[in-house]
Homo-oligomer: A and B are copies of this chain.
């Protein structure tokens, strides 16, 4: 925020034809609007208006609207990965850590409803079983690693895979149901459902 204030001030001072860093300004404005409106209720023109730039200026930095939103998704993905990593480290590893990661997942979804939905809908098809391991999908990576360390010693790779997918399904399904108001978004409910997750895995 302080950095932005600085940029803005500088821009006001210089007040130029050229915007200091339009690309990130657009992304920030877009992110802001996505907090309220849904993805297609946000227009490029509104984003541009917000930044104080002509509507078509956007096209100097993104080929089209989808590209802008895509960039936001990427950033969201990194943020989610960071939050999950944080959650796990802060709570030690093991089952507790696993639960924390799941909670972070749901929490992120609830805190960024539209962005999360877009991240999931828009994202390139990643084959769940053989993840590139170097991708920005650190969220999934974390999930997998956790499953591996929690599953019983005798579990086959296939069993681990199913357990991981099931765990992911639970947190993802819960997040979606709450996002869509099919279920009240109560913390207690999240905790209760999440707790049962790791129990199920270790079985």
Contact = CB atoms under 8 A, between A and B. Distances in A.
Interface of A: 40, 120-121, 123-128, 162-163, 165-166, 168-177, 180-184, 189, 192-193, 196-197, 199-200, 203
Contacts of A197: 166
A106 B26 CA distance: 38
Contacts of A128: 182-184
Contacts of A196: 162-163, 166, 200
A162 B120 contact: no
Decide if the interface of chain A is mainly helix, strand, loop or mixed: helix
A193 B200 CA distance: 12
A40 B123 CA distance: 18
Given A127-B184, A182-B128, A177 B172 contact: yes
Contacts of A171: 169, 173
A189 B166 CA distance: 10
A173 B168 contact: yes
Nearest to A120: B180
A175 B182 CA distance: 15
Contacts of A165: 174, 177, 183, 189, 193
A138 B173 CA distance: 19
Contacts of A170: 166, 169-170, 173
14 contacts: A120-B180, A120-B182, A121-B180, A162-B189, A165-B183, A165-B189, A165-B193, A168-B173, A169-B172, A169-B177, A172-B176, A176-B176, A200-B203, A203-B203
